[in-house]
Amino acid sequence: MTIHERYRLSVVINAKGTYTPLGVSRSSDGVAEAVAQALPEFFVMDELGDRASEAIAQVTGAQAGAVVHCTAAGITLAVAATMTGGDPRRTAALPDATDMHNRVVLPACQVIDYGHTNLQGIRLAGAQVDLAGDEDGCTIAELEDELDGPDVACLMLVASRLTRGEPIDLVAAVRAAHRRGVPAIVDAAAQFPRIADLLASGADLVLVSGQKYLGSPTAGLVAGSWPLVQALRAQEKGIGRVMKPTKEAIVGVLAALEEWQAFDRVKWEADELAKVDAFVAAASRIPDVTAEAVQDPTGLQVSRVLLKVADAKRLATELEAGTPSIYVMTDRMAEGELMLELIPLDDEEIATILARLWAVLT
């Protein structure tokens, strides 16, 4: 009996990317085995935290690292770290931020919703958000205006395909914060493969989700400067209590990081591109369908399949309604476009998607 049969759960083919409501990603057998080995054991949790810090530092080039429950938790705890500096009295007082710098500057075009908005993720620490620029963009001068205000705790930046407007020059934004003695935090939840590049911007902390492109159990990875990572880990005795990582998640992250380092990236990227190209060729044979391969807009070495059809909404609805349910990216559905991410899918699942496209569209 499969796990889906045992608990009466829908079987899903996930072509929607690293999407939280569908279980995000598939872990490898090696990661699953490490998690299974961890579950029946006891550990000194601080030691696990130290090993995770060393492993994150080694893989990313950062001074230190930490694992927290997820990236949403990482946002709250990174803000708390800048507000408290890890001071025990202040850490215990949050979210009461009396006598602390608690203003967080965030570009208005980087207010995003990944299930809740990052505004709430920031405010959970007891911080207030000052938005810079507007929905269509934020210049460095506009950022500087907000950074010049009183009581600024940190600058929060988001590296994601969910942001709007012109991309912000990360290096210039981080410099603007540092000129005022303010730390810069980058939320890059779906950008694990680019974490070293993002740290090279000079950011003090970079946050990524383990369960997205690293394929670990649900976990937020934090990489950055030694003092700020220690201040973040200190939140475990404060608001971080409700955002703590499990032992199995930390062991799963350690195993996933080991696999990542052993892994042939160049071959993987070529294989994934071949998968996308083969799908595009096959989908282009369906009458009235235009298919093309498109590169991730944020610099991730990932290609996706773009399908253009007359009635994208009807197609997406019918794909989801079938058995198994097929989920695709629907951000630009109103424009007649559906996007598919094939990374976690095997040949059989890809064949099922193509067969269903034929059945629905012809």
The Cα–Cα gap between 178 and 181 comes to 5
Beta bridge partners of 134: 137
Phi, psi of 255 (to 5 degrees): -65, -40
If residue 132 lies in a helix (H) or strand (E), which one and from where to where? strand 128-132
- Residue 158 engages ligand PLP in binding (rule: CB under 6 A): yes
How many other CB atoms are found less than 10 A from the CB of residue 221?
A: 32
Residues 194-223 contacting ligand PLP, CB under 6 A: 209, 220
- Residue 303 engages ligand PLP in binding (rule: CB under 6 A): no
The Cα–Cα gap between 224 and 240 comes to 18
- Per-residue binder mask for ligand PLP (CB under 6 A), 102-121, x = binder: ----------x-x-------
The phi-psi region of residue 87 (left if phi > 0; otherwise alpha if psi is between -120 and 50; otherwise beta) is beta
Q: Which stretch in 58-66, 79-87, 133-141, 187-195 sits in contact with ligand PLP by CB under 6 A?
A: 187-195
Nearest distance from C-beta of residue 312 to ligand PLP, angstroms: 23
Could you tell me how many residues of this chain bind ligand PLP (CB under 6 A)?
A: 14
Nearest distance from C-beta of residue 69 to ligand PLP, angstroms: 8
Task: Print burial letters for 90-99: b (CB count within 10 Å at least 16), e (below 16).
Answer: bbebbeebee
The Cα–Cα gap between 329 and 339 comes to 5
Residues 5-24 contacting ligand PLP, CB under 6 A: 20
In the set 104, 124, 152, 190, which binds ligand PLP (CB under 6 A)? Answer: 190
Chain centroid to Cα 342, Å, comes to 18
The Cα–Cα gap between 360 and 314 comes to 9
Nearest distance from C-beta of residue 207 to ligand PLP, angstroms: 8
What single letter denotes the amino acid at residue 116?
Answer: H
Q: Which is nearer to ligand PLP, 21 or 150 (CB)?
A: 21
Nearest distance from C-beta of residue 96 to ligand PLP, angstroms: 24
Nearest distance from C-beta of residue 190 to ligand PLP, angstroms: 4
Q: Which stretch in 60-68, 69-77, 84-92, 241-249 sits in contact with ligand PLP by CB under 6 A?
A: 69-77
In the set 72, 122, 132, 291, which binds ligand PLP (CB under 6 A)? Answer: 72
By the criterion CB under 6 A, which residues form the site for ligand PLP?
20, 70-72, 112, 114, 158, 160, 162, 187, 189-190, 209, 220
